[in-house]
Amino acid sequence: MGIEQIGVVGAGQMGNGIAHVMALAGYEVLLTDISDEALKEARELIDANLTRQVSREKISEAEKTEALARISTTRTLTDLGRTDLIIEAATERETVKQAIFEDLLPHLKPETILTSNTSSISITRLASRTDRPERFMGFHFMNPVPVMQLVELIRGIATDQETFNACMAVVEKLGKTAATAEDFPAFIVNRILMPMINEAIYTLYEGVGSVKSIDLAMKLGANHPMGPLALADFIGLDTCLAIMNVLHDGLADTKYRPCPLLTKYVEAGWLGRKSGRGFYDYR
């Protein structure tokens, strides 16, 4: 199964990072989004992040130029019909993802592998609504994509070995490392990371510590590169809440109850870095 062209759906935080690393590894990338503005911003951000890698001598100027030349953008989702592997990295809402797959399916080559960068939604359920559950799986990158070494590869119940091997080969070509997860709520990384972040929010909610003390405690006391509240702002509080809800609903255990303070922040539109305000103020 030769993979040369990769389609990325969604030019947001994750989608632009995925396009960046795929192009740098030599793949032709077709990046799509419903908004021209999002595509323009993604291109500028990829350029800036590649420039940062050139200035740190991680890549050469020529590699940057070649990578940028491998990325095309389109607002027409159906243009992705000619690609060999599609990574959906749209909003973390199941209805949005399903609508994208529905629009895409009639235009895909039969052998095209369809994947989702979902951080928590059931791969088996997403796959069951497509015509290719055996060629569907989870391809989950970590943020910031150009920096983080891990990709979580998630098999749905029907994913075949050929599909899994093809995705593993892509991860290897990226120079990243894969951890394999079976399809249970939030897989491995978020099953462990999100309850820790949620607990940090409870620690704030119950007055055990201030934002500053909680983050300092975990940075210096547990050697985390970022405190859990700064990390929550970085990931996006709406995404954190969505993942806690998937854990709570899917595992039916009160230990996954989202902290009321997290819910309140999301209701206020305080979503972290992307909205300018979360546990910290970025305005």
Sites of contact with ligand CAA (CB under 6 A): 49, 52-53, 56, 58, 119, 142-144, 146-148, 189-190, 193, 225-226, 231, 235, 239
CB of residue 148 vs ligand CAA: minimum separation in angstroms? 6
Active-site annotation holder among 119, 120, 122, 198: 119
* Of 14, 10, 9, 31, the residue nearest 145 (C-alpha): 14
Q: Is 116 a catalytic residue?
A: no
Active-site annotation holder among 20, 117, 140, 198: 140
Active-site annotation holder among 16, 20, 122, 152: 152
* Of 127, 182, 194, 191, the residue nearest 153 (C-alpha): 182
Peptide bond into 144 cis (omega under 30): yes
Which residue's Cβ has the minimum distance to ligand CAA?
Answer: 119
Q: What are phi and psi of 52, to 5 degrees?
A: -60, -40
Q: Is 190 a catalytic residue?
A: yes
CB of residue 252 vs ligand CAA: minimum separation in angstroms? 22
Residue 106 vs 225, nearer CB to ligand CAA: 225
Q: Is 162 a catalytic residue?
A: no
Residue 84 vs 92, nearer CB to ligand CAA: 92
CB of residue 231 vs ligand CAA: minimum separation in angstroms? 6
Q: Is 165 a catalytic residue?
A: no
Torsion of CA 242, 246, 248, 251, to 10 degrees: -170
Active-site annotation holder among 16, 117, 190, 275: 190
Alpha carbon separation from 140 to 148, 209, 269, 281 (Å, rounded): 11, 33, 26, 29
- State the greatest distance between any 2 C-alpha atoms of the chain, in Å, as a whole number: 55
User: What DSSP state is assigned to residue 275?
Assistant: G
CB of residue 188 vs ligand CAA: minimum separation in angstroms? 10
Indicate which residues carry an active-site annotation: 119, 140, 152, 190
